[in-house]
Structure 1
Amino acid sequence: MSRKTQRTRPGPLQWLGYAVGRTLPDSMRDWVRNDLVGDWAVPRHLVRSMVPFVPVFAAFFLFPGPLGLRASMVLLGVLLAVFYAVSYMAQNRSRRLERHGLPPDLENPKKASRHDAEKAAYEKLHGPSVTWGVERRGGNELR
């Protein structure tokens, strides 16, 4: 018997499980990292977060009434689901990262370098940032 090679990407059933919260094998950790903090992480999160609601949206079309009413029900459900998906995106990402053995505060490298460059440009123009909770007025520090 030949030894089965480890997959680095999930298959369709594994992806569906991942979309509803299952943990993928360690061999797919790089794929998970890219999925959660890569360049297209936000659109992927929105698509992934809609998967559990597809049966609910399909059930709305089975309700009696005009097609416009049923479509409005689906639209309202989609808008509500997208609202909550966007609202809890950061918490969902950190939980998924942690469940897959990655640091929960992992960021997109491009976004992190852009933030560092903006901070350096700001400090070049205005001096070092003041720490949070300390306000300076007339040489006195207020806490």
Structure 2
Amino acid sequence: MTASRRSRPERRRPGPLQWLGYAFGRTLPDSQRDWVRNDLVGNHAVARHLVRSMAPFVPVFAAFALFPGPVALRASMVLLGVLLALFYSVAYMAQNRARRLERHGLPADLENPKAARRHENERRTYERRHGRAP
């Protein structure tokens, strides 16, 4: 076996257990920093955030589904839990993203490059039409 085959490079993407740990707030290795950057500020970051933020609640939702009673009652409990979890997940999305970026050694104010270009173009358009902002 060659030396290159013996020393496997570290994975760029987290494995399933690493991802679960990441969903629960653990920090990933430095070798996966690019993956974390893309996960938090890349395209579709909001959808990924919503999926990731629901992972810790799955046991709670499962417990609600196992309560005794009519199916409609249990489904209502699960639905209410999902809606509350989504509400708080969206409400604290920016703070959660900034904290995760900091924990992985990235700037907390990191922004999606497409969004940054769009904001810069909007700023230029505004200044062209209305003059420089104070």
List gaps (5 residues or longer) in structure 1. Answer: 131-143
Give the Cα–Cα distance (whole angstroms) in 2 for the partners of residues 53 and 126 of structure 1.
48
Following TM superposition, by how much is the alpha carbon of 1:62 offset from its aligned partner in structure 2, in angstroms?
1.1
Give the alignment's Cα RMSD to 1 decimal: 0.8
Q: Distance in 2 between matches of 1:19 and 1:78?
A: 16
How is 1:22-33 mapped onto 2 (pairs within 5 angstroms)?
22-33=26-37
Q: Within 2, Cα distance between the matches of 1:65 and 1:7?
A: 46
TM-score scaled to structure 2, two decimals?
Answer: 0.95
Residue 74 (structure 2) pairs with residue 70 (structure 1):
yes
* Structure 2: unaligned runs, 5 residues or longer: none
Q: Report the alpha carbon displacement of residue 4 of structure 1 after superposing the two structures with TM.
A: 2.6
1:36 matched residue in structure 2: 40
Alignment partners' CA distance in 1, 2:9 and 2:111: 30
| Aligned-partner SS, 2:66 | coil
Structure number having the greater helix percentage: 2
Query: Per chain length, whose mean CA-contact separation is higher, i.e. which structure has more relative contact order (CA < 8 Å, sep 6+)?
Result: 2
Corresponding residue to 2:117 among 113, 117, 123? 113
Q: Provide the C-alpha distance between the structure 1 equivalents of 2:124 and 2:8, rounded to a whole number of angstroms.
A: 49
Moved over 6 A (4+): none
Q: 1: CA distance between counterparts of 2:42 and 2:8?
A: 28
Q: What residue in structure 2 maps to residue 55 of structure 1?
A: 59
Matched residues, percent identical?
Answer: 75
Looking at CA atoms only, which structure, 1 or 2, has the larger radius of gyration? Answer: 1
Instruction: In structure 2, give the amino acid aligned to 1:64.
Output: P
Q: How many equivalent residue pairs?
A: 130
Return the match for 1:88 from 77, 92, 115. Answer: 92
How far off its partner does 1:116 sit? 0.5
1:33 is aligned with what amino acid? R
- Greater fraction of residues in strand: 1
Give 1:5 deviation, angstroms: 1.2
Q: Residue deviations 1:12-70, cap 9 Å, x none?
A: 11000000001000010000000000011000000000000000000001111100000
Q: Deviations over 1:66-112 (max 9, x none)?
A: 00000000000000000000000000000000000000110001001
Structure 1 residue corresponding to 2:18, chosen from 14, 18, 25? 14
Partner of 1:125: 129
